[in-house]
């Protein structure tokens, strides 16, 4: 019967374990010097060798003829443990045997001496799945087990284990296996299986495996069933990565602000049964690669990819600033969380792409920083033509009163109000009201909603709010709302006023909308003596 590669080539001794020298060296020394602990805890991500090392350790401590801390794999005990005929090594799946009754049975069995081996070994896999009651039942036995009993616990989620369990075990952390080590192992397996594999294909498999040897061998097994010659194209097809050009297409749409292209690409992927959560993850990883390329001089040290892919990443990164890339990462991370809570995954992804394609639709700090950095990058690259205007002839100085009448916008807010013509009722339009509303929108959106569409008049040192909402007066009486309005007025005008609801004739204020955060910057550029034209 055919045996899959990851089972066929499972290491038999510590020396065969790849990428975990810090663990295997310590364990083999303990076996060699007979300095064995009563309980071990192996933790790490999937496919890094936790269960494999547990089985090797179980054989090594019971082997009749150990070789330099490794099992001989030839004696009756080693063979019996491998084929399962010796029942003194018990493997327990805590995911399906997680209750307190299962642990009580284990505790009772531990009192019996081994039948054939020197030690009775309990390997509890995925130990974090045990219930709190089961952990409590295991505590005393785990701390002071019988002399003939050893425990080996394995888990991928160490943070779920109680501190009382952690303190009773000798802990070993299994690291993710490096891509170079995985690729080297894949070449060894291919040589023994009479397969041919390219260097780029081996590195691509190792990157997809994400530090797990089992995943790498499983993917190699799948590739070998298609062709005896494993290349990048075969790996791409087997891993479902064929035609991943859509990532670059979406990136280009974001760079150029083409919402139409981005949404059409999402529609095509959705019709092709592409999972939107996976798409979000892929875009996050892609922008992470762009961030590394943009930041490091030698990005290949942190990005595992072929030379062609690295060149494409470098070309794509030229169209983004680092602030834009960080903004995209933030948006996709937020979208990934929304997808888990939302109803329509496609809508969440489309909203994220529209935000990135049209930064003006998003007025948060990250979007604003990205837009400013884009302007700075264009100026630095010379994409702006700067033409200085000839200085205008100086005009004779005019009296202060005349200046106030001709250029009220250049005077402080309160000066402009004093120069304005009063209405027949003696009221003066409070022209800075739209700036006050803009500040209120940043500090209290509920209050801004109440004040939308209102105007204001000035009567002495009192500001009257003109509104068709009859209930506005009761809201303004609230101290919190009143304080926010008066503080915003003070921040805009620099003067303290009283607040009231205006009655009778009202002076309507126009354009009471929140300004875009870059409008002030653009206004200042327009008022200067420099013309800026985008090429």
Q: Which string of DSSP letters, residue by residue, matches 13-47?
A: SGGG--S-HHHHHHHHHHHHHT---SEEEEEESTT
Q: Are 207 and 102 in a shared domain?
A: no
| CATH code of the domain in which 217 resides | 1.10.8.60
**Integer Cα distance of 125 and 121 in angstroms:** 13
On whether residue 57 sits in a domain, the answer given is yes
Q: Look at residue 375 in the predicted model and tell me its pLDDT.
A: 63
Q: Are 452 and 496 in a shared domain?
A: yes
Strands 149-155 and 170-174: unpaired
| SS3 call for 150 | strand
Q: Look at residue 416 in the predicted model and tell me its pLDDT.
A: 37
**Integer Cα distance of 180 and 301 in angstroms:** 11
Regions of the chain with pLDDT less than 70: 240-243, 304-306, 361-426, 470-471, 478-479, 503-535
Structure tokens at 273: 């049964």
Q: Look at residue 431 in the predicted model and tell me its pLDDT.
A: 84
Q: Helix %, strand %, coil % for the chain, to 5?
A: 55, 10, 35
Nearest to 38 by CA among 141, 177, 164, 175: 141
**Integer Cα distance of 111 and 120 in angstroms:** 10
| CATH code of the domain in which 75 resides | 3.40.50.300
Q: Look at residue 363 in the predicted model and tell me its pLDDT.
A: 57
| CATH code of the domain in which 435 resides | 3.30.300.180
Q: Are 168 and 23 in a shared domain?
A: yes
**Integer Cα distance of 287 and 289 in angstroms:** 5
**Chain-centre distance of CA 50, in angstroms?**
27
Q: Look at residue 429 in the predicted model and tell me its pLDDT.
A: 85
**Integer Cα distance of 81 and 73 in angstroms:** 9
Q: Look at residue 228 in the predicted model and tell me its pLDDT.
A: 87
**Integer Cα distance of 49 and 423 in angstroms:** 85
Chain position carrying tokens 């997809």: 208
Q: Look at residue 168 in the predicted model and tell me its pLDDT.
A: 92
Q: Are 121 and 50 in a shared domain?
A: yes
Sign of the alpha-carbon dihedral angle for 312, 314, 315, 318: positive
**Integer Cα distance of 325 and 330 in angstroms:** 9
| Three-state DSSP string of 513-526 | CCCCCCHHHHHHHH
Domain end marker among 333, 349, 380: 380
Please list, in sequence order, all residues whose beta carbon lies within 8 angstroms of the beta carbon of residue 141, skipping any fewer than 6 positions away.
106, 107, 110
Q: What total of structural domains would you count in the chain?
A: 4
C-beta separation of 150 from 119 below 8 A: yes
Q: Look at residue 398 in the predicted model and tell me its pLDDT.
A: 45
Question: For 132-177, what is each residue's pLDDT tens digit?
Answer: 999 999 998 898 889 999 999 999 999 999 999 999 999 999 999 9
On whether residue 390 sits in a domain, the answer given is no
DSSP state of 427: -
On whether residue 506 sits in a domain, the answer given is no
Q: Are 320 and 231 in a shared domain?
A: no
Please provide residue 303's backbone torsions phi and psi, each rounded to the nearest 5 degrees.
-120, 125
DSSP notation for 407-420:
-GGGS-HHHHHHHS
Q: Look at residue 450 in the predicted model and tell me its pLDDT.
A: 76
- Structural element, H or E, at residue 247: helix 245-256
Q: Look at residue 263 in the predicted model and tell me its pLDDT.
A: 92
| SS3 call for 327 | helix
Neighbours of 118 (CB within 10 A): 14
Q: Are 23 and 164 in a shared domain?
A: yes
Q: Within the chain, what is the greatest distance between any pair of CA atoms?
A: 113
Q: Look at residue 170 in the predicted model and tell me its pLDDT.
A: 94
**Integer Cα distance of 263 and 245 in angstroms:** 15
**Integer Cα distance of 293 and 291 in angstroms:** 5
Neighbours of 285 (CB within 10 A): 13
Domain residues for 145?
5-174
| SS3 call for 96 | coil
On whether residue 201 sits in a domain, the answer given is yes
Q: Look at residue 32 in the predicted model and tell me its pLDDT.
A: 92
> Which ranges of 168-242 would DSSP assign to H, the alpha helix?
179-192, 199-209, 213-224, 232-238
């Amino acid at each position: 019967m055919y045996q899959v590669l990851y089972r066929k080539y499972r290491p038999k001794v510590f020396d065969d374990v790849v990428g975990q020298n810090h663990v295997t060296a310590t364990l083999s020394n303990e076996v060699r010097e007979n300095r064995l602990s009563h309980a071990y805890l192996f933790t790490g991500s999937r496919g890094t060798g936790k269960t494999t090392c547990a089985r090797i350790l179980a054989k090594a401590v019971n082997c009749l003829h150990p070789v330099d801390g490794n099992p001989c794999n030839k004696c009756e005990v080693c063979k019996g443990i491998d084929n399962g005929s010796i029942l003194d090594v018990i493997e327990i799946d805590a995911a399906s045997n997680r209750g307190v009754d299962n642990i009580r049975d284990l505790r009772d069995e531990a009192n019996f001496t081994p039948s054939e081996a020197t030690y009775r070994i309990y390997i509890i896999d995925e130990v974090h799945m045990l219930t709190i009651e089961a952990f409590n039942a295991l505590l005393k036995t785990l701390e002071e087990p019988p002399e003939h009993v050893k425990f080996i616990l394995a888990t991928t989620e160490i943070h779920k284990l109680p501190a009382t369990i952690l303190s009773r075990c000798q802990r070993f952390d299994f690291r993710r296996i490096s891509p170079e080590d995985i690729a080297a192992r894949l070449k060894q397996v291919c040589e023994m299986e009479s397969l041919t594999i390219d260097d780029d294909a081996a590195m691509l498999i190792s990157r997809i495996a994400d530090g797990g040897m089992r995943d790498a061998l499983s993917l190699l097994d799948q590739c070998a069933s298609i062709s005896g010659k494993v290349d990048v194209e075969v790996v791409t097809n087997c891993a479902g990565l064929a035609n991943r050009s859509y990532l670059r297409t979406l990136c280009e749409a974001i760079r150029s602000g083409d919402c139409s292209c981005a949404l059409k690409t999402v529609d095509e992927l959705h019709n092709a049964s592409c999972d939107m959560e996976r798409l979000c993850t892929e875009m996050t990883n892609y922008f992470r690669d762009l961030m590394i390329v943009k930041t490091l001089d030698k990005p290949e040290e942190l990005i595992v990819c072929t030379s062609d892919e690295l060149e494409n990443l470098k070309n794509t990164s030229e169209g983004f600033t680092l602030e834009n890339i960080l903004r995209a990462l933030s948006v996709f991370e937020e979208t990934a969380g929304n997808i888990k809570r939302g109803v329509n995954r496609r809508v969440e992804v489309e909203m994220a792409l529209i935000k990135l394609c049209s930064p003006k639709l998003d007025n948060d700090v990250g979007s604003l920083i990205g837009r400013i950095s884009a302007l700075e990058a264009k100026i630095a690259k010379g994409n702006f033509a700067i033409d200085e205007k000839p200085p205008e002839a100086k005009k004779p100085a005019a009296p202060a009163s005349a200046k106030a009448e001709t250029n009220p916008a250049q005077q402080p807010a309160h000066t402009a109000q004093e120069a304005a013509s009063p209405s027949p009722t003696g009221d003066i339009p409070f022209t800075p009201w739209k700036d006050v509303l803009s500040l209120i929108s940043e500090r209290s959106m509920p209050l801004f909603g109440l004040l939308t569409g209102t105007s204001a008049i000035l009567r002495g040192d009192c500001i009257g709010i003109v509104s068709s909402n009859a209930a506005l007066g009761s809201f303004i009486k609230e101290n919190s709302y009143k304080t926010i309005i008066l503080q915003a007025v003070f921040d805009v005008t620099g003067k303290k006023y009283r607040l009231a609801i205006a009655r009778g004739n009202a002076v309507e204020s126009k354009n009471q909308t929140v300004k875009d955060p870059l409008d002030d910057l653009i206004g200042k550029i327009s008022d200067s003596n420099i013309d800026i034209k985008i090429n």
